[in-house]
Amino acid sequence: MIPPFMIGSFSRMLMTPTSSLPRRDFLTGALALGASTLARGADDAPAMLGPILGHSDETSAMVWMRAAAAGEFTLEVTPEEGGSPVVMKKVADEKDDLCLHWKVAGLQPGARHRYRILQNGKVIAADAGQILSTAPAAGKPAKVRLAISSCAKEDAGSRAVWNRMASENVDAVVLIGDTPYIDSTELEKQARRHREFAAVPEYQALLKSRPSWWTWDDHDFAGNDASGLAAGKENTRLVFTRYRPQKSYGDGTGGIYTSFRRGPVEVFLLDTRWFSMTEPSFAGSHKPTLLGAKQWEWLQKGLLASTAPFKLLACGVIWDDKENTESDDWGTYKHELTAIQKFIGENKIPGIILIGGDIHASRVLKYKTAKTVGYDLVQFIASPIHGSTIPSLNVYHPDLVRSAVEPNVFLRVDADSTVTPATFHAALINKNGETVFSYHLTEEDLKPKA
């Protein structure tokens, strides 16, 4: 029996594929996988992956590595200004696909540390670039530079973007889906594709010295336009939790939503796949959900508690309608978008900025939401890191203020609370370091009007 919330105007979502190779990425995906296979063999895992940095806050940081073989490994973290190292031991086990997560606690805010990894007393990872920096104290004026984007492969263009992010001296990296392309929920394929993606030297070089956060979109979750009804999604989540060192993954048993604070910015990384279409919506029991009740409750609590001047709601999908036959966008779930806007307005929450990816085109939209929210919401869409664009998805919208169909790009965000009012400057940067477009906001632009 079809649940009532999936009947009627939402019938197009029943056509969501869960395992077929996506229409728009069949050729480029096959070429990328073919090149990867020729380079090192489809089943050959690299000797060692990492280390890279994951979640970091004022007093703690996460370090990830995939070992070449089972055994005990030691992480040493030493303050650059001097002092005794923090020493932590972890055992790499086949049952965890040899993935290691170290959570280093008791650090000082805004401090730099060097780290290295040893096995049996022998140093196996001690590159000069292995720098771990904690976040500045939340209430202290600070500047931060983030790199945000989506849709990456192991191709030359993507590798050039990783290099460009590093040369732009970003403080942290946020990847919002299709990183990598997998298009399967089979456990071994998920793990193999994560290994191949993590083995890219430029990716490893970027993240060994910068904290990083991830969410998924359709191609790394299950398949093109996939929803939470995808069979085998538990495999996808298991591999994600092994290869992506976050402080938390959803509610602990489902989803992967998480958040972090870095200077004047707090980022809420939403999961717009796991819960979609799996239950009636919190915004109307006769309609399907996108976020799910638990994620919605988490988001409300987080927004009410946040003191950051800028609060980014980031997810893989875009915050309006793609205007194609696919259903994976906030236009399909407009009832939940309306609920979010109403919640922001009723609680007079300042500083909300929307971030999306997915569509292989980059855009800025300024929505006329002052009556509901108290100010106009702005969405930034950043896609793709790889070289395949989709001009047809750069559609007309009355609120569109910037757009570009440009390959190999990322959004460079500079937030600064050392000035009054605090500023938020976003620039779309291509692999050559050229600014494709930019858009500027201040804290005053994002305050509820009386």
Whether the CB-CB separation of 174 and 267 falls below 8 Å is answered with yes
Tell me the per-residue pLDDT of 316-331, one tens digit each, with 9 for 90 and over: 999 999 999 999 999 9
What domains are there in the chain, each with its CATH number? 4-35+137-446 (3.60.21.70), 59-133 (2.60.40.380)
- Residue 31: predicted pLDDT: 38
Nearest to 385 by CA among 213, 158, 212: 158
Cα→Cα distances 208→89, 125, 129, 152, 414, Å? 19, 10, 7, 18, 21
The SS3 assignment for 203 reads helix
The SS3 assignment for 113 reads strand
The side-by-side arrangement of strands in the sheet containing 435-442 is: 212-215, 172-176, 143-149, 409-416, 423-430, 435-442
Tell me the per-residue pLDDT of 335-394, one tens digit each, with 9 for 90 and over: 999 999 999 999 999 999 999 999 999 999 999 999 999 999 999 999 999 999 999 999
Give the chain's residues under pLDDT 70: 1-46
- Residue 1: predicted pLDDT: 40
Q: Identify the helix (H) or strand (E) that includes residue 332.
A: none
Sign of dihedral through CA atoms 221, 222, 225, 227? negative
Judge if pTM exceeds 0.85: yes
Residues 6+ apart with CB under 8 A from 360: 24, 151, 383, 384, 388, 389, 390, 393, 405
Tell me the per-residue pLDDT of 183-193, one tens digit each, with 9 for 90 and over: 999 999 999 99
- Residue 314: predicted pLDDT: 99
Cis peptide preceding 51, ω within 30 of 0: yes
The SS3 assignment for 232 reads coil
Give CA–CA dist 176/193, Å, rounded: 17
Give CA–CA dist 151/146, Å, rounded: 17
- Residue 47: predicted pLDDT: 82
Q: What is the DSSP letter of 274?
A: T
